[in-house]
Structure 1
Amino acid sequence: MVVQSPEQLTQAIKEEAHRLGFELVGISSVSDPPHEQSFADWLQEGYGGEMAYMTRTEQARRHPSTWLPWARSVVSVAMNYYTPFPRETHQAGAPKGWISRYAWGEDYHTVFESRLDALLGWIRNTVGEEVQGKAYVDAGPVLEKGFAGLAGIGWIGKNTLLISPKHGSYFFLGELFLSLELPADQPIRNRCGSCDLCLKACPTDAFVGPYRLDARRCISYLTIELKGSIPAQIRPLIGSHIFGCDICQEVCPYNVNIEASKEPAFQPREGLHAPELIPLLALNDEQFRSWFKGSPLKRSKRRGVLRNVAVALGNLGSAESIPALARLLSDPEPLVRGHAAWALGRTGTTEARAALDEALARETDPDVKVEIAQALTGGAPSH
């Protein structure tokens, strides 16, 4: 293929990206993202919680030309992952939990990386000369939403997510940095208006204001990014969420009547939409790795997922979960034992109390002992 101009090449790149399965494609220059100072302020105020990788890469995220001096353009791409399976509004039968929609299918990193590599190969073949390129998918020091906004894919909404007027916010983002000078697309205006449904719907009050999220209170952060103990005062607000949330997306008017994803990799794997919780407590490390092979849930590891499941069961107050939670009081992971104790304390039954009494007598970890003691007295651990 012979491309006559940068404009023709840009159009051809977009067509190829669409052919590869990316619903949204936009191009921007490699400049400092428009909200880089807001990002710095967000980190300074501590709203990033324990996401130390954000602080380590702050300057690179704010000033991409300092570490990609050869890059001239960024191709931002988005792929829809929405599937029309509803959130269960009541618990009938076995207690079930909620996993964020983005994690129902295969790991999006794998899907995106292979297709962005294919797009880069196509560009090199088309241009007929050496083109430097580097793809990133939620793993490099890139302010993805900033570049996608510059490229006209959407605007950053009050819930801090990128929103497309036609496709809502249920999509993954990826970037391909190129050494080519390409015509940039125009950003689109913010269309949130006076709507604040997302801010009001958050059960943990994680939004300190429009466009301002305190990750330390966000259910997605607490169930995925946080590696240690979930603060006891927030646990009751998490409900039955065991990996991610989605509430601020579910109430967004732009996510009404959006098309479902046609991508096979993002269709729900068996057991990941509203999973039964009690069977998850029985998974050992090997079973966990096997069950969640190729799934985003592997990121939280067994200890994190079982921590979250214990909290969900404590909030649901299911008496049938007591034997499984009691067995967790002997789990090798202190984090799991502590949260199982909290969950048992929430049930308040004689059986739960007996299990806690027995566990307290043998427990050696000081933090877990505090959790068990507080569960027995009905208080909350001070952490």
Structure 2
Amino acid sequence: MSKRTLGFALLLLLAACGTSTPAADDGGVIAVQASDDACEVARTEATTGNVTFEVTNKGTKVTEFYLFAEGDRILGEVENIGPGLTRRLIVEVTEPGALQTACKPGMKGDGIRGAFTVTGDGRKSTDTDAALAEAARSYQRWVNSQADSLLAKTGEFVTAVKAGEVERAKALYPVARTYWERIEPVAESFGDLDPKIDGREDVIEEGLEFTGFHRLEKDLWESGPQADSAAVADRLLTDVGEVVRRAKAVELTPLQLANGAKELLDEVATGKITGEEDRYSHTDLWDFRANVDGSQAAIAALRPVIEERDKALVTTVDEKFAALDALLEAHRDGDGFKPYTALTEPEVKALAAAVDALGEPISHVAEVVSR
């Protein structure tokens, strides 16, 4: 079996295992029926506070579900919903307004969108819960530090690209991306910038320009520097600077931390395990490690809340993180990691199983935080 074929097979395994949720038992849950050509949301109005969607995939393609604010800012998302599966998304909406829901069959494009209206007064869980407020502040401090490093290391990478220092640029590429991958749920929430910075070559199929990290990755490892590589590098630095500015300004909710911890593991399942993310450089394990770091940081910020409400869940999450960490660290090579292509099929399967084992308990964190 080829590495790519194995990756897609494992993606289906990850989608099938440990991601289903119980049937809705709360009249406030909003059922979503997703298919290959429709996104039927049972109720298109809600009041401020926690809004729960239960998404069932009736189609033939793996799908995603999103709740967007103005400007395509992602308030919440759930990925890797395989055919026949159900996933739950709990989002804290703190202000009334006109939002949008979207299903993305095949996990591509703008999705099948619909209007969603939120009414009521501005409400924040952090206004009345000191532990949740501190969790949000703690995580925001961590995001700010990672954002600063992202901007600095991207600047070094861009400088090397523009100077034609190919080997130096190659060495800096996975380092700069580490900081992006650690805060990916926050960075990705700005939907207009994410495909410019982190879009893979597939974005061309969606009518978008291929720019950002992965375009420069292709230039460095496959095609060689191009006439416009310097311009692409400059644009990358500008776009990263804008993401950093927005990431520091956005006010995160505790549920965004909880959902983000799971989203980062989904990122591993959809891009790193398959070897599709860094397809030219094969530096996927750097990104894998960074996604896991980001998930751990979100859980660390929420830890006092989770321990108080479900101590057994904390114990399970800690055990699963430790098991995945041990497998990842076994593939270290100096300060970095082996090329992804150096892994054997059993090693890839072991990593996939560990991600799946961790993803199941992490999927319950949002429910615990929303109590």
> TM-score, normalization: structure 2?
0.24
Higher strand share: 2
Max Rg structure: 1
Higher helix share: 2
> TM-score, normalization: structure 1?
0.23
